[in-house]
Structure 1
Amino acid sequence: MSAPTPQALLIIDVQQALFDPPPFEASAVIERINALAERFRAQGLPVFLIQHQSAQGVLQAGSPGWAFAEGLQTRPSDTVIAKTTPDSYLRTPLESALRETGVDHVAVCGYASEFCVDTTVRRSAALGFEVTLVADAHTTHDKPHAGGAQIRAHENATLPSISSFGPRIRALPAAELTL
């Protein structure tokens, strides 16, 4: 039996301004993320908190809206990565931090399912990382064309269908993720 793949947890944009008003299943998603983060930490696996910031507005660095969402449990051992686009890797140290820790598998959760989560899942696979989309630990707000539940279901169904990057993308509920 081979050794388990070194994994990291990427928690994307769970920030106060993005959770006020709450997106689909906000409280349950934060609870699942917290439980999953504790499992990673207990195994000595890295947890990355990815935080969107802008030059102005509700996500301006240091503003109340930019802060992590109420209820999200962070630890000093977590690595915080600031980003300015939906891609958690673009102009950030995320890829080098993952490579330095020997990670080749990322579990992705957070906000927004169809933007930052989707983009980061795709980019992770393009960079050669195996990806698990934590199927019940990402969320978004209802949109005119589809509700948050439909959008999440769409992402969970379509992202694992992408095989052209090479590494596997799968969608699993938090409780089924093996570390």
Structure 2
Amino acid sequence: MPLIGKERLVENVNALIDHFHKEHLPIVFIKKVRYGELSQKLHRNTNDLTVTKMQMNTFKAPDFKILLFEHDFAEFVVVGLMSNACVQATCKGALAENFPVTLISDAHDSVLKPMQNIWNKKLENVGVTTMITKEYIEK
């Protein structure tokens, strides 16, 4: 999905990336096969992790499962595209693996505008914590 008109989304995601880098927290960038490359606008560092997946739920990706064993992840923060597909599937995948998960409610998007708010509410109802970028960074 092109990021045309998604400047605010990229700003919020980059604010979170910068925060994670500053706090020395791990970042895992996820690419879905046949859905293009990660945006060059993202503030990526060479030591950030990258996983390629086939399915919407990142927790089903064999490379991601390896990362789970290699790193001591205590919780997950989810941002990205598409609210109604990969974002919701990955949030549910984290819950299914008994990880706490926070969805940054203003740092995910879809081609259909209502999907962001719809999935913020649906995921909150199943146990995902939601908060806006500023709130997460300031906590």
Normalised to the residue count of structure 1, the TM-score between the two structures is 0.72
Q: How many Å apart are 1:118 and its aligned residue?
A: 0.3
Q: Equivalents in 1 of 2:58, 2:118: separation in Å?
A: 21
CA contact (8 A) 1:32 1:174 kept: yes
CA contact (8 A) 1:53 1:82 kept: yes
Q: Equivalents in 2 of 1:84, 1:154: separation in Å?
A: 25
Q: How many Å apart are 1:89 and its aligned residue?
A: 1.8
Tell me the residue number matched to 1:31. 11
| Structure 1 residues 118 and 78: alpha-carbon distance in aligned structure 2, compared to 1, 3 A threshold | same
Q: Which secondary structure state, in structure 2, belongs to the residue aligned with residue 136 of structure 1?
A: strand
Percent identity, please: 22
Cα-Cα RMSD:
1.6
Answer 1 or 2: higher relative contact order, Cα 8 Å, separation at least 6: 1
Q: Equivalents in 1 of 2:40, 2:63: separation in Å?
A: 26
- Which structure 1 residue ranges, 4+ long, deviate > 6 Å from structure 2? none
Q: Equivalents in 1 of 2:115, 2:47: separation in Å?
A: 32
Q: Which secondary structure state, in structure 2, belongs to the residue aligned with residue 93 of structure 1?
A: helix
More helix by share: 2
Q: Unaligned stretches of 5+ in structure 2?
A: none
CA contact (8 A) 1:40 1:46 kept: yes
Equivalent residues, number: 138
Q: Unaligned stretches of 5+ in structure 1?
A: 1-17, 60-65, 143-147, 164-168
